[in-house]
Structures are given as structure tokens and as C-alpha cells.
Amino acid sequence: MEQKSTDKLNSIIMQNKAEYFILIFFVKIFSLLGIDRAAATASVLSRFLYYFVPLRKKIIRKNLKIAFPEKSEKEIKELVLSNYRSVVILLHEISCVKNTKREKFLSKIKYTNIDELNKELENNKGALLLSAHFGNWELAGVAFNAVTARPFHALAKPQRNPYANKWINDTREYYGSTVVSLGLGVREVFKVLQKGSPILMVGDQRGPSDGMRVKFFGQETAVYIGTAAIAQKTNAPIYFFLMIRQPDNTYQVTFERMHYEEVKGTKDEIIHWINQNYMSKLEAALRIYPEQWFWMHNIWKY
């Protein structure tokens, strides 16, 4: 029994190392090509993935057909290809962080309403920046520390592969942001908010099967209540934003205040309102930019 456990552990370690080697292989290639070639690389690699390495293609198709039942098979296929392209652009851009001047990244991002957010932060009020796996969400961690009035933190779920997890967190923190580990970092989140700093969270992962549900594309969808519960407990302001990729491969970011403090009801009713409001805003964006979300996530597993 002990030998089987050792063999299983060694197998997992070897798998993690192999995955990490593949990751670093592509990181090196993308880095050598440079950030300006991200779109061109994605146009080629997305088709290769679609036809030869169909990563989670069945899940992407299933999700898209649920969200957009009116679309034809041809339109769904084009959306799957576009979705692969969006993910490859994200991976290419984040691979270039350490060999690209920060000013280059900052020039790619245009902000709306950031002055309102900074005014809130200057008054020693922390803020929850609620986003989603949309556009290139990873660039938020790279860029926001330079444009927010307080040190920037990001709450992140640890990756299964510890080698990949270290690489992505090192990249996220390369320009001064701080990663707070999900699960272990709830107390740290409260400390960050008490210091008047912003903390980025993404709330579009599938929640527990017995958890709260809200409407998303007409489907009863399980959600996590963490962000809403923290806001309800601390009275921290919530700003919704998305990193929306533009045709010229720059990003537009608009910070929109979610005025949950105006909602009347019980604690659970307020938390439900925050989650429903968030998912409704995300759905509205996906109806305009359907290719930019991470449809590989099995959001409607149950």
C-alpha cells in the first residue's frame, strides 16, 4: 500500500513537471516573438488547437449552445475558434511580461472612471474590484498597481500544478502587485481593505452544487458568495470591471460602482442581489463580446 502511494505521488510529480515544461516552452516562444505578435500567433495557433488539440472543445460548444441557442452550427464553430484565439492572446501577452517594459502594457489599457475609484481609495477606503475571466484579466494584476492610489492586491485560487502556480504568481507580482491565496487569505482580505487598498476578485467560477443560484443566460447557475459576503460584512464598495479587448488589441476598462448599499432586505437577499447583478452585467457584456470569456469553464456542470 505504501509503495502504491509513493508511485502515485511520483506519477503526479512527473505529470506536474511535464506540464510545466510545456508551459515554459510556449512562454519562451511567445516571449521571443514579442507582445506585438500576439494576435498573429493566435490566429494560427487557435486553428491548430481546434483541429488537432481540441482542449475542452466539447465543453465550450456545450456552453455556447446553451447561452446562444439561436446561433447556427457554423456560428458556434466560429465562436469556438474565436474563443481559442482569445485565450492564446492572453497566454502570449502574459508570457511577455518579464521582457516588456511596463509602459508598453500601460499603453495598451485605457480607463474610464478610474478617478472615481482613486478618490475612494484616497479617503482610506478599501474597495473590491470585481471582474471575470474575460479579455485578458491577468493584465489587471500587471497594470493596476501603477494606476491605483493604493497598493494593489489580487485574490487568486492556487493552481493544481505547484510549478505552474509559482510561475503565474511570480508573473502577476512582477510589477509590484500582491497575490493573496484564496482560502488561506480571507483574513488577509480584511486587512487589505482596512488599510484602504483595493483587492481584485473574479466571481464567475461555478459555485457549489448546494450553494446559492442566480440566473445566467436564463439558467439557474451556482455561484460563490465570497465577494458579496465580504462586502456585506465590511461595507466595502464594489466596482465591477472587465478587461475588454478592442479590435486594435488594446483594452478598455470601465469601473462601475455596484450600489448594493441601497438594497433593502436580509443579509442573504443582499448577497443574492450582488451576485445576480454581477452575473447580469457579465451576461450583457458576453452578448456583445461572446468570444472573450473563458467558456472552457464548465459553468453549467449541474
pLDDT band at 186 (very low <50, low <70, confident <90, very high): confident
Which DSSP string corresponds to 237-260? -EEE---EE-TTS-EEEE-EEE-G
Place of cell 474565436: 82
pLDDT band at 290 (very low <50, low <70, confident <90, very high): very high
pLDDT band at 85 (very low <50, low <70, confident <90, very high): very high
In angstroms, how far is CA 273 from the centroid of its own chain?
Answer: 21
Span 100-106, average pLDDT: 87
Angstrom CA distances, 294 to 55, 80, 286, stand at 12, 11, 11
The pLDDT value recorded for residue 188 is: 84
- pLDDT higher than threshold 90 for residue 177: no
At CA 209, angle to CA 207 and CA 212, rounded to 5? 60
- 282 contacts: CB under 8 Å, gap ≥ 6: 132, 134, 204, 216, 242, 293
The single-letter code of the amino acid at 183 is G
In angstroms, how far is CA 213 from the centroid of its own chain?
Answer: 20
Residue 63 CA to residue 204 CA, distance in Å, equals 14
Helices (H), 144-295: 162-172, 186-194, 226-234, 267-288
pLDDT band at 75 (very low <50, low <70, confident <90, very high): very high
CB 95 within 8 A of CB 24: no
3-state secondary structure at position 293? strand
pLDDT band at 146 (very low <50, low <70, confident <90, very high): confident
**Cell matching residue 221:** 447557475
- pLDDT higher than threshold 80 for residue 3: no
Q: What is the mean pLDDT of the chain?
A: 92
**Cell matching residue 195:** 488599510
The single-letter code of the amino acid at 226 is G
Closest alpha carbon to 118 in 108, 127, 106, 109: 127
Span 124-132, average pLDDT: 91
**Residue 219: its H or E element:** strand 219-222
pLDDT, greater one: 245 or 145: 245
Span 72-76, average pLDDT: 97
* Interval 57-70: pLDDT, tens: 999 999 999 999 99
- pLDDT higher than threshold 90 for residue 45: yes
- 190 contacts: CB under 8 Å, gap ≥ 6: 230, 234
Strand-strand pairing, 251-254 and 109-112: parallel
CB 247 within 8 A of CB 188: no
Length of the chain: 302
Strand 244-245's sheet: what is its strand order? 109-112, 251-254, 244-245
pLDDT band at 79 (very low <50, low <70, confident <90, very high): very high
The pLDDT value recorded for residue 1 is: 61
**Residue 64: its H or E element:** helix 57-67
Residue 206 CA to residue 89 CA, distance in Å, equals 24
